[in-house]
Amino acid sequence: MTTIRIYDARQDKVVTVEKIERSEAEWEKMLTKAQHEITTRKGTETPGTCLFEQIHEAGIFRCVRCGTDLFRSSTKFNSGTGWPSYYEPVSPLNIVQQPDTSLGL
């Protein structure tokens, strides 16, 4: 069992949780096709079609795979790209940043 530390906004503290490890087949059964493509294969929605772009209520956006708190709605801004953008995660512990050089940038 692998554990990781994340910040839980509801408890307002860092907690240790078991890392969720599932097979590709299990994820495919649990997620919609779009969710699986985005979270597993670095896919994306067409600009302007993302449900989260339309949500403006106060709250926290969570990971569809594990429920980890990712971004507070108060940190969301309109970047003009057609995708939801946030200037700060709930906690650096809760995200992994990876450079995207797929388009040669």
* Tens digits of residue pLDDT in 18-40: 999 999 999 999 999 999 999 98
Closest CA to 52 of 29, 27, 28, 86: 86
Please give the pLDDT value at position 35.
92
* Tens digits of residue pLDDT in 58-85: 999 999 999 999 999 999 998 988 888 9
Phi first, then psi: give them for residue 37, nearest 5 degrees: -60, -45
* CATH 2.170.150.20 matches 3-94: yes
Q: Provide the whole-model pTM.
A: 0.85
